[in-house]
Each structure stands twice: as structure tokens, then as C-alpha cells.
């Protein structure tokens, strides 16, 4: 009889235990919700809700106060005819689809392969056609400022991100060797990132000053005559035109590229972020197992081989992270452009050549008080940004090596 009582005892104990466990679980759930309450509330009010609210705003004619409901008119005003927009979207979708199909093909059998390849080509052609048909019209009917600002943002990221990556990779690789005073170097490189953006942008603005700035003083000492000095932040002309002029060549206007003013801002951005990227690269390099290098050295690999076949592939996650952050950052960049181009005139000066995505939104929102339209523009530019990061994501697939 003893075992029986024992079991019933245990059972009772068990049920007691499970009851108390359930109680504890409920208590823990309540406690955890309390832990999460302040953060989640703030996140909902100032991050999640605004996303929907912004869309709501973009459907109205909203100038400081809410006006009348106009549906997608703000978007149409920005992008032009809905038919063209549809054409462009379909074209882009088809191109992306063709590309994905083409990549999949190698896994299939030969007859299907042929068919799929054919399908991909058809998609490519129709997609390209749709783009060719829709895009010029969209440019014509839409808000040309948006497309211009996209181009400027594109120039801006193309100017900053690759340079930042190359310089910081170089510096990090050198610092990673047996270098004396490693932490001092690191501290010096990191200095630009820590300083207040507004202040350092003001400093660079004075460095770029056409008459008294450091850069032009240097050029004067190098023998450039006073009237030939570049006007940096005040120059709306394309950088290629300016360079060509210095060499005495005349170029057509469309070859101008980003304005010298934008290039000045790009130089500043490179200066700020190289140190930050270097520090992150250093930690990425630190994660590569030393054994790999040793093995390669024993096998007689040259420095160049080691760099190409070990270092670069193994830091690719860091590179990917930095490129992503860099591109997102150029869409977000406000402070430096705002401060540096203020003296040249209104937002986006000179002549709108520094009107990046965030500056355009700022112009419509704060200078023009067009809340509805600004929201629509923000959504469009964000969609483009998401598209670009998606492409980046796809393109880096298989090239980024995660241990």
C-alpha cells in the first residue's frame, strides 16, 4: 500500500506544482508586459503609428491644417500619369523577375532550361520596353524635382560609400598589422565621427570658403590664379565641367555630373565616416581566425593572395553592413547638407544641386508647409530606397560569406 499512497502524494504534489508553475508563468507574463510597457508605448506612438498617420496625411491636401481628401492626387502630382507609373513598375518587376528566373535556370533540366531562358528573355524585353515607354513620360508629367533629387542622392551615395569603404579598409588593414600606438591612431581617425555634425560642417564650410578658405589658400600657394579658384559650395556647375575648364576642355552640359557643391559635401561625408568604418572593419578583421593566415603563409601564398582570397571574403559581412548603412545614411543625411549649403541660398542651393531626398522632403514640409505632398514624396523616396536595398541584398547574395 505504501507505493500507492506515495503515487497519490506525488500526483497531488505534481498538480500542486503545476498549479503553482502556471501561477508563476502568469505572474511572469504580467511582469514582462510591465517591463515592456514604457518602451512599447513610446515605440507605438512615435514609430509605428506615425507610419500609418503619414500615409493618411499623404491622402489629404494638408497645409499645416488638414484640408480636403484628395486620394492619391499627391502621388500623381509627384509621379505623373498613373498609366506611366504602372508601366514603370511593371517594367521594373519584369526585369527583376527575368533576373531571378535566369539565376534559377542552372538548377533545371535541359528542356525546361531552354523554356525558362526563353521566358526570361521575353520578360527582359517586355520589361525593358515598358520602362522605355513609361519612364520618359513619367519624367515629363511628374514632378521633375523628385527625379532630380533621386539622381542627386544617387550621386551622393556613389560619391561617399565606395570611397569610405576603400579608405577605411586600407587603414584598418594597416592598423591590423604590428603597428605601434594602435589605439592612438584609432582615436585620431575616429575623431571626426564623434564631433558634433553641425560644428564640423561649419568648419568644413569655412575650409571650402572661396576667398579665405583653407583649400583655396592651398590652391593659391600652388599657383592657381585668384579668378580661377573654384567656388566649392557656391558652384552649381558639374564637377566634370569644372575640371575640364581647368584643363581647358569644353564638355557638353549633360556630362557635368554632380555639382561641385555636392562634391564638397561628399568630401565632408567621407571625412566623417572613414574613421567609423575603420573601427568596424578592425573588429571584422579581428574575427578572422589567425590559423587561416598561418596556413596560407605556410602554403606560400603571397600577401596579395591572402588579401584577395582570405581577408576580403571573410570581412564581406562587415563590408555589406557598412555599404547598407552608408546607403541608408545618404538618404537620411540632413545636418551636413543643411549647414554647409545654407550660405549659398535657400534649401538645396546652389540652384537645387544639393537637393537630396531628405532635403526635398524638408523643403516641401518645412519651407513650403505642404504636409500632404511632403508625406507622399517621403513615401515615394522611401519606396525607391527600399527597392535599392532589396537589389543590393539580392546582388550580394552568395557573395557575402557568413563564417
Residues in region 307-336 near another protein by CB under 8 A: 317-318, 320-322, 328, 331-332, 334-335
Query: Cβ of residue 185: shortest distance to another protein, in angstroms?
Result: 6
Q: Are 197 and 276 in contact (CB under 8 A)?
A: no
User: Which is closer to another protein, CB of 191 or CB of 307?
Assistant: 191
Query: Cβ of residue 47: shortest distance to another protein, in angstroms?
Result: 4
User: Which is closer to another protein, CB of 318 or CB of 354?
Assistant: 318
> 278: which residues sit within 8 A by CB, 6+ positions away?
167, 168, 171, 172, 175, 186, 189, 190
C-alpha to C-alpha distance for 128 and 278, rounded to whole angstroms: 40
Quick note: the x/- pattern for another protein over 169-198, rule CB under 8 A, is -xx--xx-x-x---x-xxxxxxxx-xxxxx
Subset of 333-352 contacting another protein (CB under 8 A): 334-335, 338-339, 342
Query: Cβ of residue 344: shortest distance to another protein, in angstroms?
Result: 13
Subset of 152-171 contacting another protein (CB under 8 A): 167, 170-171
C-alpha to C-alpha distance for 276 and 280, rounded to whole angstroms: 6
Query: Cβ of residue 296: shortest distance to another protein, in angstroms?
Result: 19
User: Which is closer to another protein, CB of 11 or CB of 383?
Assistant: 383
User: Which is closer to another protein, CB of 20 or CB of 206?
Assistant: 206
Subset of 268-297 contacting another protein (CB under 8 A): 271, 274-276, 279-280, 282-284, 287
- Please report how the helices 260-286 and 182-194 are oriented relative to each other, as an axis angle in degrees rounded to 10: 140
User: Which is closer to another protein, CB of 83 or CB of 332?
Assistant: 332
User: Which is closer to another protein, CB of 52 or CB of 248?
Assistant: 52
Query: Cβ of residue 145: shortest distance to another protein, in angstroms?
Result: 15
Number of residues that bind another protein (CB under 8 A): 94
**Residue from 45, 115, 151, 295 in contact with another protein (CB under 8 A):** 45
Nearest to 74 by CA among 366, 387, 355, 378: 378
> How many of the other CB atoms lie within 10 Å of CB of 338?
18
**Residue from 28, 108, 294, 367 in contact with another protein (CB under 8 A):** 28
Quick note: the x/- pattern for another protein over 108-147, rule CB under 8 A, is ----------------------------------------
Give long-range contacts, CB 8 A cutoff, 24+ apart: 207-216.
208/232, 208/233, 208/264, 208/340, 210/234
**Residue from 202, 251, 296, 312 in contact with another protein (CB under 8 A):** 202
User: Which is closer to another protein, CB of 311 or CB of 318?
Assistant: 318
Subset of 205-224 contacting another protein (CB under 8 A): 206-207, 209, 212, 214, 217
Query: Cβ of residue 373: shortest distance to another protein, in angstroms?
Result: 10
User: Which is closer to another protein, CB of 112 or CB of 182?
Assistant: 182
Query: Cβ of residue 386: shortest distance to another protein, in angstroms?
Result: 8
Maximum distance among all alpha carbons in the chain?
A: 112
Subset of 53-72 contacting another protein (CB under 8 A): 53-54, 57
Query: Cβ of residue 398: shortest distance to another protein, in angstroms?
Result: 14
Amino acid at each position: 500500500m505504501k507505493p500507492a499512497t506515495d503515487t497519490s502524494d506525488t500526483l497531488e504534489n505534481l498538480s500542486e506544482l503545476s498549479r503553482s508553475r502556471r501561477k508563476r508563468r502568469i505572474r511572469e507574463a504580467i511582469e514582462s508586459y510591465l517591463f515592456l510597457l514604457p518602451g512599447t508605448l513610446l515605440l507605438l506612438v512615435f514609430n509605428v503609428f506615425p507610419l500609418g498617420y503619414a500615409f493618411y496625411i499623404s491622402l489629404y491636401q494638408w497645409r499645416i491644417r488638414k484640408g480636403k481628401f484628395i486620394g492619391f492626387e499627391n502621388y500623381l502630382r509627384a509621379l505623373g500619369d498613373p498609366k506611366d507609373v504602372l508601366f514603370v513598375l511593371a517594367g521594373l518587376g519584369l526585369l527583376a523577375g527575368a533576373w531571378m528566373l535566369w539565376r534559377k535556370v542552372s538548377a533545371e533540366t535541359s528542356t525546361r532550361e531552354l523554356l525558362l531562358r526563353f521566358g526570361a528573355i521575353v520578360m527582359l524585353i517586355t520589361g525593358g520596353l515598358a520602362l522605355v515607354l513609361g519612364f520618359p513620360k513619367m519624367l515629363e508629367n511628374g514632378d521633375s524635382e523628385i527625379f532630380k533629387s533621386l539622381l542627386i542622392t544617387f550621386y551622393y551615395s556613389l560619391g561617399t560609400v565606395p570611397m569610405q569603404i576603400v579608405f577605411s579598409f586600407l587603414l584598418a588593414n594597416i592598423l591590423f598589422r604590428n603597428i605601434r600606438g594602435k589605439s592612438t591612431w584609432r582615436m585620431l581617425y575616429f575623431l571626426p565621427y564623434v564631433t558634433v555634425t553641425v560644428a564640423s560642417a561649419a568648419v568644413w564650410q569655412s575650409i571650402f570658403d572661396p576667398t579665405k578658405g583653407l583649400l583655396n589658400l592651398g590652391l593659391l600657394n600652388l599657383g592657381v590664379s585668384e579668378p580661377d579658384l573654384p567656388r566649392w559650395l557656391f558652384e552649381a556647375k558639374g564637377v566634370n565641367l569644372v575640371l575640364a575648364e581647368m584643363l581647358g576642355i569644353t564638355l557638353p552640359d549633360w556630362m557635368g555630373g554632380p555639382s561641385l557643391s555636392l562634391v564638397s559635401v561628399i568630401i565632408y561625408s567621407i571625412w566623417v565616416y572613414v574613421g567609423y568604418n575603420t573601427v568596424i572593419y578592425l573588429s571584422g578583421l579581428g574575427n578572422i581566425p589567425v590559423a587561416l593566415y598561418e596556413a596560407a603563409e605556410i602554403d606560400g601564398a603571397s600577401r596579395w593572395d591572402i588579401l584577395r582570397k582570405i581577408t576580403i571574403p571573410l570581412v564581406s559581412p562587415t563590408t555589406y553592413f557598412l555599404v547598407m548603412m552608408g546607403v541608408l545614411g545618404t538618404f537620411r543625411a540632413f545636418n551636413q547638407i543643411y549647414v554647409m549649403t545654407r550660405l549659398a541660398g535657400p534649401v538645396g542651393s546652389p540652384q537645387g544641386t544639393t537637393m537630396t531626398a531628405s532635403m526635398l522632403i524638408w523643403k516641401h514640409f518645412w519651407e513650403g508647409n505642404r504636409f500632404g505632398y511632403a508625406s507622399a514624396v517621403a513615401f515615394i523616396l522611401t519606396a525607391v530606397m527600399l527597392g535599392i536595398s532589396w537589389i543590393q541584398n539580392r546582388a550580394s547574395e552568395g557573395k557575402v560569406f557568413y563564417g
